[in-house]
Amino acid sequence: MAQTTTLAAPDWSNVKRALVIMAHPDDPDFTCAGTAIAMARQGIEVTYMILTNGDKGNHNPEITRNQLIAMRKIEQRNAAELCGVKQVLFMGVEDGFLRPTRAIRKRVTREIRRIRPELIICPHPDRYLVGDGYINHPDHRNAGLVALEAIFPAADNPMFYPDMADEGYLPHKISQLYVFGHDEPNVELDITADIDLKIQAILCHVTQIPNPEEAPARWKERWATRHEDGGPRYYERFRAMSFT
């Protein structure tokens, strides 16, 4: 459907480091690979944080759980490398059972304080239904909750986890937040020039794509925004917040 409202272009003028917090291997590539590519091209240091181990992401009974975990780590690292992402963190929570627990909040807070990103990208925690045929995975929603609860109130408040100061991880406040999947996005990035590279990154996730020959054409048709000249354009859109 054509976009009827005007969305702002992203402002990364003060961004040196960005952290993408997602639930599963492949989530960053479907949601924001084009943005990561553009950031990396501008010299921004992008890190992916994958909260679960992805051990439920295949129906093949001949693949063991531990084999799948190892395979998905390799796939995500390969995809990240294509996008110019230098670091991928795997937090290892069991796939399908991610919750905003005290333990995972502390671990994510520690990484925010260590990396000190100006910008974080995460999923929308209230997105239960997608279109007419998909129930959003609970890990996707809870990844948003984990991220938001680590960002605020924990990451920049010295009263949370004072022991981290002894490790050298001092409080840190981000300046921008991008929420993917929000019903009211206010920022968009034209990724048309990088749509094929985004698709290549997604195709790195061999365990997740049953029909890699047919999928790219279907994705391009589904994701296209048609302009007046009839040509397709491709965008990644977010609800952006700024903090001072």
Q: Per-residue confidence at 2, pLDDT binned at 50, 70, 90?
A: very low
pLDDT at 221 over 50: yes
Q: Whole-model pTM above 0.75?
A: yes
Inter-residue contact 83 to 42 (CB < 8 Å): no
The predicted structure's pLDDT at residue 230:
74
Q: Per-residue confidence at 5, pLDDT binned at 50, 70, 90?
A: low
Q: What is the pLDDT of residues 116-151, one digit of tens each?
A: 999 999 999 999 999 999 999 999 999 999 999 999
* Three-state SS annotation for the chain: CCCCCCCECCCCCCCCEEEEEECCCCHHHHHHHHHHHHHHHCCCEEEEEEEECCCCCCCCCCCCHHHHHHHHHHHHHHHHHHHCCCEEEEEEECCCCCCCCHHHHHHHHHHHHHHCCCEEEEECCCCCEECCCEECCHHHHHHHHHHHHHHHHHHCCCCCCCHHHHHCCCCCCCCEEEEECCCCCCEEEECHHHHHHHHHHHHCCHHHCCCCCCHHHHHHHHHCEECCCCCEECEEEEEEEECC
| CATH of the domain spanning 17-242, picked from 2.40.160.60, 3.40.190.10, 3.40.50.10320, 3.30.470.20 | 3.40.50.10320
Quote the mean pLDDT of the chain.
95
Every domain of the chain and the residues it spans: 17-242
pLDDT at 165 over 80: yes
Q: What is the pLDDT of residues 189-220, one digit of tens each?
A: 999 999 999 999 999 999 999 999 999 999 99
Q: What is the pLDDT of residues 78-118, one digit of tens each?
A: 999 999 999 999 999 999 999 999 999 999 999 999 999 99
Q: What is the pLDDT of residues 31-68, one digit of tens each?
A: 999 999 999 999 999 999 999 999 999 888 889 999 99
